[in-house]
């Protein structure tokens, strides 16, 4: 298995040192920097199973990330989580506003279209975000983050086939206070963030107001003018109100709005033999996919995104059952132009305008039937709608025949139940099931062709069974089987009658997982290990095929076969001394397609079979890992905290595409690999910060110097190729650094 030669021994040696107890530092009791007793690791409470329980008591693979971990790394957004948990990738997709490509355990669906469902659910304050746009979130006002790996269909529903990122923001405190932060960094990047807490009615109604703003000139250079491009301006603002009229009832209402303006930038990676290379200057073709990505020649483009949202959570505690209601509403308006040929020539330019809204309602009850049996039962409803208009300019001329109008609707409702049953003093049986029904429809028009209304409906039953054994208070072993699925639907970019009206079916997974969670050395060392095998059926995949109408090609989703992914994951946290804390993670996985067969017409109109079974799955590196160390130096005026974090991401492909091929006598194609230009090379990412925390009277201040990607590891963030026509990519963030000032009162 390929890996970074220097990385594997370094990380495994650190993990082994922690597992051995790292004597004598961990063994000592009074050896702290201040002479006090060496502290145990803090107990982390998670809600991964819709209950409040400790991380070490939860029988599933979950990584909990605390606010202090985020602050020590000068974390800005959800993308900074990449590599912090095993087998987790998060990249930004610039084809959509605030769009996140998220992969857990090798499962991802990197597409911004509203008709497609994600494979990993991002849940904010109990509300599922239904599209990848709007999911690249700011990380200032965060109470907790839980990364749940593997299908979570029982409690979180459909489209959690890869896992869930469960985010909880801070709640109103009911006391007067708040925090302010200002930061400035490379590329003229600066941010201001503010939170204000207050009490509107003493002990009855608390309020929190928040405002986040960040902007940058961008880290690309325009190759002709020499100016910085790729800039962005992001804002998120709103208020939360917490009503507690009685001791057993509360209602939390959050009203917010996200606004983003940015310049979508693509880099040209077309090569000789592709059509567009014949129409652009020679220096804009046959470029490398590392340093060349940061010099661009494309025409100016602009994106504007506005998304207001409301969340209402209500909790009622009765003598027997605790009831929770979560209502979510979100809309968005997008207008985005983009130069897809990524050159100084005007070859392929689009203008996309779309509206989207979603509504969801969940009601659940939790309680205990006996001292040894507890449960969660509930129901869920989800509805969404989008309207898309896309105008296209080809070779400098407006192509009305390629104009596309698309409207889609989706409805989903479900009932679910989950339980814990203590069979004996050391044994517990857990499990549950969910039944979900989905309905979708689409109306599509391409140029003058108006296609009929197409409908899809389907239902799925997704059970889960877990058995855990606790030989003592510090160790737990567990094994589980679960089934997850992702709903079927329509390809909104389909341009023919067949592709616009023929739905693709759901994909399903059977996941088998076994693990051990240990708290050693009086809970100064935690080691969590999990192994898994996931069998996927009717896998949904994007493929790009030629057409005789519209833009001449279309990217559609089909059910292409099956896949198997197996892997091992390790999380280690160690309190080496009072001042020194280390965390490490390691993810190793192997993923393979089986029976990935598609077809496309050739120039003569005959269908040609393409066999992609031997290509690599996208966003599925063989190896990921991280090693983070935090050291605190007490000073008379406060304390100084040094943090360093190394993350390794193995190479991975970003698109199913035509690379090396073999063609048989009948013209059928065996694809041996994806196009190498869509491969992200191995990443060695090092982040560091130094924070001085100090008192300002009764309040607190801090100054942080930070650096991200200090090795300046450059390469593709996203890449796409349309075989024989053109190819483009974008670059990941290069080395950056800055200063942050904070004040809490």
Q: Residue 102: pLDDT band by 50, 70, 90 thresholds?
A: confident
CA atoms within 13 A on the CB side of 628: 27
Residue range 499-556, pLDDT digits in tens: 888 899 999 999 999 999 999 998 999 999 999 999 999 988 877 766 666 666 777 8
Is the distance from CB of 154 to CB of 462 less than 8 angstroms?
Answer: yes
DSSP string, 96-146: STTEEEEEETTB------TTSPPSEEEEETTEE--SSTT-S-B-SSEEEEE
Residue range 200-257, pLDDT digits in tens: 999 999 999 999 999 999 999 999 899 999 999 999 999 999 999 999 999 999 999 9
Q: How many domains does the chain have?
A: 1
Asked whether residue 72 is domain-assigned, the answer is yes
Give the separation between CA 147 and CA 160, rounded to whole angstroms. Answer: 12
pLDDT at 23 exceeding the cut of 60? no
What's the whole-number mean pLDDT along residues 412-429?
94
CATH code of 291's domain: 2.40.170.20
Query: What pLDDT shows up at residue 546?
Result: 67
Asked whether residue 104 is domain-assigned, the answer is yes
Asked whether residue 657 is domain-assigned, the answer is yes
Asked whether residue 1 is domain-assigned, the answer is no
Q: Which two tokens stand for residue 598?
A: 């598609």
Contacts of 280 (CB under 8 A, 6+ apart): 268, 270, 297, 341, 343, 344, 345, 347
Residue range 122-164, pLDDT digits in tens: 899 999 988 877 677 766 788 888 999 999 988 888 788 889 9
Q: Residue 72: pLDDT band by 50, 70, 90 thresholds?
A: low
Query: What pLDDT shows up at residue 83?
Result: 73
Give the separation between CA 647 and CA 649, rounded to whole angstroms. Answer: 7
Among the listed residues 446, 421, 441, the one whose alpha carbon sits nearest the alpha carbon of residue 431:
421
Give the separation between CA 121 and CA 157, rounded to whole angstroms. Answer: 9
Asked whether residue 14 is domain-assigned, the answer is yes
Segments forming the whole domain that contains residue 256: 7-744
What's the whole-number mean pLDDT along residues 420-448?
93
Give the separation between CA 673 and CA 664, rounded to whole angstroms. Answer: 17
Query: What pLDDT shows up at residue 28?
Result: 38
pLDDT at 457 exceeding the cut of 80? yes
**Considering the chain, what percentage of its residues have pLDDT values greater than 90?**
59
Query: What pTM value is reported for the model?
Result: 0.88
Residue range 339-348, pLDDT digits in tens: 988 888 889 8
Q: How many other CB atoms sit within 10 Å of the CB of residue 735?
A: 15
Residue showing tokens 């969670």: 517
Is the distance from CB of 459 to CB of 436 less than 8 angstroms?
Answer: yes
pLDDT at 444 exceeding the cut of 70? yes
pLDDT at 98 exceeding the cut of 50? yes
Q: How many other CB atoms sit within 10 Å of the CB of residue 237?
A: 15
pLDDT at 558 exceeding the cut of 90? no
Q: Please give the DSSP secondary-structure letter assigned to residue 624.
A: E
Query: What pLDDT shows up at residue 51?
Result: 80
Residue range 576-615, pLDDT digits in tens: 998 999 999 999 999 999 888 887 766 666 778 889 899 9
Better pLDDT: 465 or 557: 465
Among the listed residues 717, 704, 708, the one whose alpha carbon sits nearest the alpha carbon of residue 686:
708
What's the whole-number mean pLDDT along residues 449-454?
90
**Considering the chain, what percentage of its residues have pLDDT values greater than 70?**
91
pLDDT at 685 exceeding the cut of 80? yes
Asked whether residue 2 is domain-assigned, the answer is no
What's the whole-number mean pLDDT along residues 7-21?
39
Query: In the sheet where 267-268 sits, what is the strand order?
Result: 267-268, 726-731, 716-722
Query: What pLDDT shows up at residue 556?
Result: 81
Least confident of 243-247, 297-301, 318-322, 392-396: 297-301
Residue range 604-647, pLDDT digits in tens: 667 788 898 999 998 999 999 999 999 999 999 999 999 999 99
Asked whether residue 571 is domain-assigned, the answer is yes
pLDDT at 17 exceeding the cut of 50? no
Q: Residue 11: pLDDT band by 50, 70, 90 thresholds?
A: very low
Give the separation between CA 61 and CA 570, rounded to whole angstroms. Answer: 9
Mean pLDDT computed over every residue of the chain = 87
What's the whole-number mean pLDDT along residues 439-452?
90
pLDDT at 10 exceeding the cut of 60? no
3-state SS, 666-689, equals: CCCEEECCCCHHHEECCEEEEEEE
Better pLDDT: 8 or 391: 391
Query: What pLDDT shows up at residue 75?
Result: 66
Asked whether residue 191 is domain-assigned, the answer is yes
């Amino acid at each position: 298995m390929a890996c970074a030669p220097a990385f594997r021994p370094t990380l495994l040696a650190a993990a082994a040192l922690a597992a051995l107890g790292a004597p004598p530092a961990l063994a000592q009791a009074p050896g702290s920097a201040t002479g006090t007793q060496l502290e145990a690791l803090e107990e982390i409470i998670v809600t991964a199973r819709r209950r409040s329980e400790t991380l070490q008591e939860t029988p599933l693979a979950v990584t909990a990330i605390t606010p202090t971990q985020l602050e020590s790394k000068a974390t800005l957004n959800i993308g900074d989580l990449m590599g912090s948990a095993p087998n987790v990738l998060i990249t930004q997709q610039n084809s959509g506003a605030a769009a996140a490509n998220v992969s857990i355990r090798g499962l991802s669906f990197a597409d911004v279209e509203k008709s497609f469902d994600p494979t990993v659910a991002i849940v904010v304050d109990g509300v599922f975000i239904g599209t990848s746009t709007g999911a690249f979130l700011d990380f200032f006002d965060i109470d907790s983050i839980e990364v749940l790996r593997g299908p979570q269909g029982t409690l979180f529903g459909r489209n959690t086939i890869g896992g869930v990122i469960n985010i909880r923001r801070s709640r109103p405190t009911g006391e007067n206070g708040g925090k302010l932060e200002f930061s400035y960094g490379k590329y003229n990047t600066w941010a201001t963030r503010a939170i204000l807490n207050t009490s509107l009615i003493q002990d009855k109604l608390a309020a929190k107001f928040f405002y986040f703003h960040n902007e940058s000139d961008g880290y690309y250079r325009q190759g002709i003018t020499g100016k910085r491009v790729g800039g962005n301006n992001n804002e998120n603002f709103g208020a939360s109100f917490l009503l507690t009229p009685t001791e057993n009832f509360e209602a939390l209402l959050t009203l917010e709005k996200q606004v983003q303006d940015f310049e979508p930038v693509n880099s040209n990676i077309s090569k000789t033999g592709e059509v567009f290379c014949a129409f652009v200057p020679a220096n804009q073709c046959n470029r490398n996919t590392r340093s060349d990505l940061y010099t661009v020649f494309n025409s100016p483009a602009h994106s504007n995104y506005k998304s207001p949202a409301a969340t209402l959570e209500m909790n009622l505690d009765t003598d027997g059952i605790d009831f929770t209601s979560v209502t979510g509403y979100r809309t968005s308006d997008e207008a985005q132009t983009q130069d897809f040929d990524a050159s100084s020539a005007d070859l392929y330019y689009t203008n996309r305008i779309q509206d989207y809204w979603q509504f969801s309602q969940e009601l659940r009850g939790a309680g205990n039937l006996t001292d040894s049996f507890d449960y969660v039962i509930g129901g869920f409803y989800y509805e969404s709608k989008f309207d898309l208009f896309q105008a296209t300019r080809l070779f400098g001329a407006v192509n009305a025949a390629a104009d596309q109008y698309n409207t889609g609707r989706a409805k989903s409702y479900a009932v679910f139940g989950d339980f814990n049953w203590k069979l004996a003093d050391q044994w517990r049986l857990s499990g549950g099931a969910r039944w979900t029904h989905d309905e979708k429809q689409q109306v599509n028009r391409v140029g003058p062709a108006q296609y009929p209304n197409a409908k899809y409906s389907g239902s799925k039953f997704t059970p889960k069974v877990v058995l855990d054994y606790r030989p003592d208070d510090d160790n737990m072993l567990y094994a589980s089987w679960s089934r997850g699925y992702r709903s079927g639907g329509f390809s909104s970019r389909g341009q023919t009658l067949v592709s616009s009206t023929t739905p693709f079916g759901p994909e399903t997974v059977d996941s088998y997982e076994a693990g051990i969670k240990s708290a050693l050395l009086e809970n100064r060392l935690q080691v969590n290990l999990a192994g898994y095998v996931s069998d996927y059926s009717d896998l949904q995949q994007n493929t790009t095929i030629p057409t005789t109408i519209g833009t001449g090609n279309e990217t559609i989703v089909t059910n292409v076969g099956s896949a198997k992914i197996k892997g091992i994951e390790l999380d280690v946290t160690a309190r080496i001394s009072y001042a020194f804390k280390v965390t490490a993670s390691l993810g190793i996985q192997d993923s393979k397609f089986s029976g990935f067969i598609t077809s496309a017409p050739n120039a003569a109109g005959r269908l040609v079979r393409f066999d992609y079974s031997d290509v690599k799955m996208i966003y599925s590196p063989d190896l990921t890992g991280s090693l983070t160390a935090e050291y605190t130096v007490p000073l008379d005026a406060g304390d100084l905290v040094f943090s360093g974090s190394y993350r390794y991401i193995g190479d991975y492909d970003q698109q199913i595409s035509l690379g090396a091929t073999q063609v048989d006598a009948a013209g059928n194609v065996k694809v041996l690999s994806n196009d190498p230009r869509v491969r992200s090379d191995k990443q060695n990412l090092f982040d560091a910060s130094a924070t001085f925390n100090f008192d300002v009277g009764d309040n607190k201040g801090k100054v942080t110097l930070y650096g991200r990607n200090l090795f300046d590891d450059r390469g593709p963030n996203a890449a796409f190729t349309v075989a024989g026509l053109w190819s483009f990519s974008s670059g990941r963030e290069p080395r950056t650094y800055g200063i942050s000032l904070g004040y809490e009162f």
